[in-house]
Structure formats: structure tokens, C-alpha cells
Structure 1
Amino acid sequence: MIELKNVTASYGTRIILDNISLKIEQNKTVALCGKNGSGKSTLLSLIDGIIPAGLKVSGEVLVDGQNIFSANRKEAAKLVSYLVQNEKPVWNFSVRQFVETGLYSHERTSKIKTDNKINEVLSRVGILDFSEKKIFNISGGEFQKSRIARCLIQQSKNLLFDEPSESLDAAFEIELLKMLKSISDKEGKTVVFSTHDVNSALRFADDVLVLDRGNIIEKTPASIIEEGCKVFEKAFDAKISLCYPAEASPGAGKPVVVFD
């Protein structure tokens, strides 16, 4: 479980998170929505125990009952896997070597067991065939898949993904969100992903957290649609022309939200 207790985060006089308290239960898939600069990345970073430079923070962040700010990075890696935005590769590892770095918090084991773990996540994300390619020589989408595989191999109970569909084609984006939902449902893990796509949030999340001017509004997808998606209109400062529930949406049978 992830719990925030009276968390305030600010850069000088600019408040990013304003006295936030919330609980994210285990075995839940939660979407984090809000416009650019609303604090999505900041919130995910704090849950991972990382305080960005210049950010003043008060309050507590507990992950599985442990204060994440007091955990060292190896301990934190056992609690949380975190896919950050805009990572740039530093070392020209092979894809396999890059993914293996996600095991740094684990005890050493045999090469056969390690290879089996790596092969499992590479296959799951669909990149086993180019696992020997160098990171500098792969596409942006392939690098994103490699990063996702590195998160999965950590085997943490809490998975954080900041814009996980970045650089991915539309088909794999849906496949990825289905996979994350399955991981939460079948493996008992907590999954939190940020997204600008409110339709993906409504389709794949159990709960939606909407960041709006330092505050968090927690809703279920059903309640958001029932209320005419007003929470999205306010948070994004935009008018919504269509807000269909899944059973009423034309053709696809999935939630449909259209901004003007």
C-alpha cells in the first residue's frame, strides 16, 4: 500500500502539492491525470523517495508501511519500481545488460536463473529478439520497452510509470496497459501510471487521481463519467463535448471522452 500523509511540496512560493493525504491500496491500478505542470511527475518521484533538486517537502510518504524517505536506494528499489520520463542512456549496454541492471537490489544468483529471469521479462515486453543490440542503436520505442522490462525485473510490489506510452506505437500502448492491469489483478501489485490520455485512464484504471492546482481529486472511472467528466474539464481548463460510458459508446464499447 502507498500512503501520503499531509504532503506539501513547493518550489519557493509555487505550491505543487498542497497538503495531500491519500491511500493507494495494494492490488489496484491507478491512473494519474492532469495537465502539464500539475505535479504528476513530482508525486511519482516522491513515492519513489526521490526529492527533486530545489523542492521543499513536508509530510510523510509510506510504502508498505515504511517511510520511503528514510530508505536507502537499494531498500527503495525493493519497494518501488519507477519508470521516469525522458531518460537518456549513459552507457552503451546491450539491451540484455541494461535490463539486468534492474536486479541490482537482489541477492546474486546463478547465471542460469538470472538469464531465465531476463528472458522472461524480455519476452513479456516483446524485445527478446533484439536483446543483444546496443542501447545506442535502438529506436526510442525499443528503448522504452527496455526500460519497462528493467522495471518489471525488479519484482517490486509497487510499480510507478510516468507516461509509459511515450515513444510507443498505438497498438503496443494498449498492450502495455492491458499488461499492467493484469499484473495488478493477477499478481497483487499496485500500479500507478501517469497519462495525458483520459480515455486510457478510464478504460484501464480502477481509480483515477486528478491533479488540479495542488490538490488531488480521487474518483472511480464510473463516477467520472456519471458526473459528465466535469473533473477533467476543470483540471484541464477545457470543455468536453462527449462523455460516453462504455456501454453507450459508439461501436467499441469503451469509455469515450472528447475535448472541444
Structure 2
Amino acid sequence: MASNLNLVEPQSRGPFIGVGNVTKSYGSLTVLNGISLEVAKGEVLVLCGPSGCGKSTLLRCLNGLETIQSGSITINGRRVENATPEQLQQIRLMTGFVFQNFNLFPHMTTLENIVIAPQKVKRIPAREAKEQAEHLLEQVGMSTKAESYPYQLSGGQRQRVAIARALAMKPSLMLFDEPTSALDPEMREEVLQVIRRVHQEHKMTMVVVTHEIGFAKNVASRAMLLDQGQIVEEAPARDFFESPREERTRKFLRAIAND
């Protein structure tokens, strides 16, 4: 079983992420309506849009946390829709997911939160997992909090631990679902700096749901606006934020600038 969980990733000749005409509904409510997009290896795509537009749902569909009604999704050549449980586990092994509410285990220390998945899922020896976790905590500026519990940490510190936990699985793709929305401005900037550093050091593919304009301009390759389950506009990040083509995009950007 352990060998199956550590297969070499297939090298796709196409985009690292491919989404083709995806539809996702909850009963009579259509959340994603014919979404198609591609993300190249190493690219950072920022998703923007009003609440309920489908951003978080799209992220969850990318690694199979939500099933789709129609269309196709591939991650580095692996099909997500209709994947078997084992195939889905393979996809999730190469996908790190950072949620807005941290989702740390409250009864575990910072270090324990990071080592548990590599040990249990990838069967990494305890000593190796601990050394890797300590290195990751240093990367995210949390070395002094290794023995702290989540309740002893600030929101920004918990989010940095969550990022380290995702990186511990050595993913090829990182998905961030509004990672700073629950934080005050100072803590928000701490977390954004960590995400910038992760991209600079690892050059991994990222899809980030965020309204942080400065971050998107400086880090993202492209930005995309979703509204009512459809893509309204996509463009290189700086063009998207400085000279959007669509009036709907301009209206949205004015709204978040005034928040």
C-alpha cells in the first residue's frame, strides 16, 4: 500500500490544471456554469468574485472534495471526475489545500499537526517527518511555537502552521481558499509574505482565492473574476487590476477597494 501512495507523478504534456466546461449544482442551484480554464505548471492564478460566485466550490472540485455534474478536470494529467478512491488519493497527495479557518487539530501541538499526515499517509519515518516539520516551521517563521497548541497561537500564526502542514506532503499544487479573510491587516500581511516566499522557493503551481490586490499584482501570473458561476474576465494580474476590460470587473474592484 505504501508504495502505491508514493508513485511518481505522471508528466502531463498539457496544462498542469485543465478545467473543461464544468458544471456544479446543489439541487436546483447552479454554482459553476460551464467553467473552462487552464493553469500552466508554476503559474499562480488568483480567483476573485463576490460571495457565492463559486470560487471556493471550484477549488474544492479541483481536488475532488466536491463532485461535478458535467465537464472534466485534470491535475497534471490525472482525471479528477469519476476517479476511484485510490486515484483520488493520488491526486490529493500532490495537492495542498489551505482553508480560511485553519482546520488544525486542536488537541495536537504545532509540530504534531505537521508530522501526522506524512507519517500516517506517506509512511515517512518519525525522525524524518520531525526533521522536515522543523525545517518547514523555520520557513514560515514558527520555529519557537513547535510545542504550542492552536489555542495558544494568533490567527496569523495558525494560518502559517496550516501552510507548513500542507507543504509537509510535498505537493506540486497549492490551493488557498481566502487564507487571510479571517485575519486583521497585520496578520494578513504576515501570511501573504509566507505565501510569496513559498512560491519563490518552491515555484509550485498555485490557485489562490483572494481579494488582496497588492499580493495579486506582485505574485499572481493571472487573475480571474467569477460571477454567478461564470468567468467574467481573465487577464495578466497587473492588467486585470489596473485596466480591466469589463464593467462588471471594474465595479467589483471599486467595491473591494472601498471595503
AA aligned to 1:20 is I
Is structure 2 residue 235 aligned with structure 1 residue 219?
yes
Is structure 2 residue 111 aligned with structure 1 residue 96?
yes
Q: Where does the alignment leave 5 or more consecutive residues of structure 2 unmatched?
A: 1-15
Write the deviation string for residues 123-172 of structure 1: whole angstroms up to 9, x where unpaired: 11111101101223333332222111111111110000101123445355
Is structure 2 residue 149 aligned with structure 1 residue 134?
yes
Write the deviation string for residues 63-87 of structure 1: whole angstroms up to 9, x where unpaired: 0010124153531332211112335
Is structure 2 residue 161 aligned with structure 1 residue 146?
yes
2:99 is matched with 84
1:159–1:191 CA contact under 8 A, matched in 2 = yes
SS at match of 1:101: helix
* Structure 1 residues 86 and 177, CA gap change in structure 2 (3 angstroms): closer
2:100–2:180 CA contact under 8 A, matched in 1 = no
1:58 is matched with 70
SS at match of 1:240: helix
Write the deviation string for residues 51-108 of structure 1: whole angstroms up to 9, x where unpaired: 1xxx752211110010124153531332211112335545411111011134243232
Range with greater deviation from structure 2 (156-165 or 55-64): 55-64
1:177–1:204 CA contact under 8 A, matched in 2 = no
Write the deviation string for residues 207-253 of structure 1: whole angstroms up to 9, x where unpaired: 002112221232112332563x354x515855739xxxxxxxxxxxx
Percentage of matched positions with identical amino acids: 26
Q: Where does the alignment leave 5 or more consecutive residues of structure 1 unmatched?
A: 242-256
Is structure 2 residue 210 aligned with structure 1 residue 201?
no
* Structure 1 residues 215 and 56, CA gap change in structure 2 (3 angstroms): same
Alignment of 1:36-51 (within 5 A): 36-51=51-66
* Structure 1 residues 38 and 118, CA gap change in structure 2 (3 angstroms): same
AA aligned to 2:70 is S
1:22 is matched with 37
1:75–1:105 CA contact under 8 A, matched in 2 = no
Match of 1:234 among 237, 244, 248: 248
2:49–2:252 CA contact under 8 A, matched in 1 = no
AA aligned to 1:114 is A
Q: Distance in 2 between matches of 1:194 and 1:225?
A: 15
1:247 is matched with none
Q: CA deviation at 1:195?
A: 0.7
Match of 1:120 among 132, 135, 141: 135
* Structure 1 residues 225 and 40, CA gap change in structure 2 (3 angstroms): closer
Q: Distance in 1 between matches of 2:71 and 2:123?
A: 32
Q: CA deviation at 1:24?
A: 0.6
Structure 1: 4+ residue segments shifted above 4 A: 87-91, 235-239
AA aligned to 2:235 is K
* Structure 1 residues 85 and 173, CA gap change in structure 2 (3 angstroms): closer
AA aligned to 2:72 is E
1:33 is matched with 48
What's the TM-score once normalised by structure 1's chain length?
0.80
* Superposition CA RMSD, Å: 2.7
Q: Distance in 2 between matches of 1:235 and 1:15?
A: 21
Aligned length in residues: 239
* Structure 1 residues 222 and 16, CA gap change in structure 2 (3 angstroms): same
Match of 1:68 among 71, 80, 104: 80
1:107 is matched with 123
Write the deviation string for residues 173-213 of structure 1: whole angstroms up to 9, x where unpaired: 34543443444455331011111233432232110021122
Is structure 2 residue 207 aligned with structure 1 residue 192?
yes
